[in-house]
């Protein structure tokens, strides 16, 4: 029960941003002595810090700090997750690029990834490059490493089962290789699931949504009833590998016709080239072409097919909100607006109520911190792995 209470308080404070002990006790239905004791323990571990209430305004309605009016009356001491120390090493293993950053417990924004390198074609070289890249970051005691990866991932065992664009990752135990280098706990999370967790923290009222991310591929993740959807098998959100009738493009998964061959970064560039457009066939050239206005004819079929797939997912899941992230949001607003209208026209709930489809920035760093808090600082199951910061 003590661990459950700590996890509940930590999660609530992360989403509120700034709160008093009384705020936390009331919102969680705890007694003030119980909440105060938990706060004292987490402060001793440097997970929570105290700040003056005037340092950052906020309300106690569950909205992020700074979203409401400042408190009235005598200033008091408020609580937030520690932003002074960066005990997590965040790593994003991308298809073309790997990025590293030190992350604070109180990370609230998506900052720059200070160290990057081109993703190699073998696990041995990748680990060597990670170790070399980590040396460029400020030295400090790590509590753990959180690794974001693409593909079909079994997060319970820490193994990548299949990654169409990085097949070598399924042949090795990446968390174990990183443990040998850093000698701290290592947690692995599927990349879109990390993005969904980050979005949930940034938007404190987001308890139900489907996140769809566009990049080297297309993937999704689901937040339902305030929790990350946990399927019975380690496979969910693979929207990009839905086949589109008439599409003859070969996909990295081994199939033909997957939607991601049309609307991923590579797919969009291929469509531009096949259309015979005079624009340079690289990403900046494609963006310049789209800035000329409207949605070009060669782009509409892919967006229409993607909208059908998203609307179908909404109809099955009973969710009425879609968050679009990734490379598609780099395009002019006309592109995401076109996709949004097409999704809404196919969503059953739009006949009775409101369906939202919004473009948002990626919040991968915040998502990785959320995983670190949940699985490294206060894991729900398994043996204790030592107190953080000890």
pLDDT digits (tens, 9 = 90+) for 162-188: 998 899 999 999 999 999 999 999 999
182 contacts 224 by C-beta, under 8 angstroms: no
Mean pLDDT of 70-92: 78
Nearest to 214 by CA among 237, 189, 240: 240
If you ran DSSP here, which 8-state letter would residue 238 be given?
Answer: -
**Residue, of 16 and 267, whose pLDDT is higher:** 267
**Residue, of 5 and 244, whose pLDDT is higher:** 244
Q: State the Rg of the chain over Cα.
A: 22
Q: Domains in the chain, please, with CATH?
A: 2-66+77-81 (1.10.10.10), 88-195+364-377 (3.30.420.40), 205-359 (3.30.420.40)
| pTM of the predicted protein model | 0.88
If you ran DSSP here, which 8-state letter would residue 199 be given?
Answer: H
Mean pLDDT of 247-264: 94
For residue 348, pLDDT beyond 80: yes
For residue 58, pLDDT beyond 70: no
For residue 388, pLDDT beyond 60: no
Task: Give the 3-state secondary structure of residue 351.
Answer: helix
Mean pLDDT of 293-309: 94
Mean pLDDT of 258-270: 95
Alpha helices in the chain (DSSP H): 2-16, 21-28, 32-44, 123-134, 174-182, 191-202, 260-263, 265-274, 283-290, 300-317, 333-346, 364-372
210 contacts 222 by C-beta, under 8 angstroms: yes
pLDDT at 65: 41
Give me the residue label for tokens 């997590």. 88
For strand 144-149 and strand 186-190, is the pairing parallel, antiparallel, or unpaired? parallel
Task: Give ∠ CA 300-301-306 in degrees, rounded to 5.
Answer: 95
């Amino acid at each position: 029960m003590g661990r459950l209470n700590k996890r509940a308080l930590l999660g609530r404070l992360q989403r509120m941003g700034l709160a008093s002990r009384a705020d936390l006790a009331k919102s969680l239905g705890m007694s003030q002595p119980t909440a105060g004791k938990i706060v004292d323990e987490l402060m001793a571990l440097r997970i929570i810090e105290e700040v003056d209430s005037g340092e950052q305004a906020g309300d106690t309605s569950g909205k992020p700090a700074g979203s409401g009016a400042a408190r009235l009356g005598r200033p008091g001491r408020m609580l937030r997750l520690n932003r002074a120390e960066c005990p997590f090493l965040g790593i994003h293993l991308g298809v073309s690029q790997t990025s590293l950053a030190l992350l604070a417990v109180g990370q609230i924004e998506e900052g720059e990834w200070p160290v990057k390198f081109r993703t190699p074609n073998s696990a041995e070289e990748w680990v060597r490059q990670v170790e070399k890249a980590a040396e460029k970051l400020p030295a400090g005691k790590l509590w753990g490493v959180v690794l974001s990866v693409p593909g079909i991932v079994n997060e319970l065992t820490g193994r990548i089962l299949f990654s169409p664009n990085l097949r070598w990752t399924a042949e090795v135990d990446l968390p174990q290789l990183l443990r040998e280098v850093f000698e701290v706990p290592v947690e692995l999370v599927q990349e879109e699931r990390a993005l969904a967790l980050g979005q949930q923290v940034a938007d404190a009222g987001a308890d139900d949504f489907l996140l769809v991310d566009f990049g080297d591929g297309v993937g999704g993740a689901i937040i339902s009833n305030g929790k990350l959807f946990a399927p019975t098998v380690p496979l969910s959100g693979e929207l990009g590998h839905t086949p589109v009738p008439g599409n003859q493009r070969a996909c990295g998964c081994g199939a033909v016709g997957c939607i991601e061959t049309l609307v991923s970064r590579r797919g969009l560039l291929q469509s531009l080239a096949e259309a015979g457009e005079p624009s340079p066939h690289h990403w900046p050239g494609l963006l310049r072409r789209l800035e000329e206005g409207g949605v070009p004819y060669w782009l509409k079929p892919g967006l229409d097919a993607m909208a059908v797939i998203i609307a179908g997912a909404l109809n099955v899941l009973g969710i009425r909100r879609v968050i679009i992230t990734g490379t598609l949001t780099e395009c002019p607003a006309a592109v995401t607006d076109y996709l949004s209208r097409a999704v809404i026209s196919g969503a059953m709930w739009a006949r009775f109520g409101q369906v939202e489809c919004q473009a948002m920035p990626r919040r991968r760093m915040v998502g990785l911190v959320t995983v670190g808090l949940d699985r490294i600082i206060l894991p729900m199951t398994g043996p204790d792995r030592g107190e953080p910061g000890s």
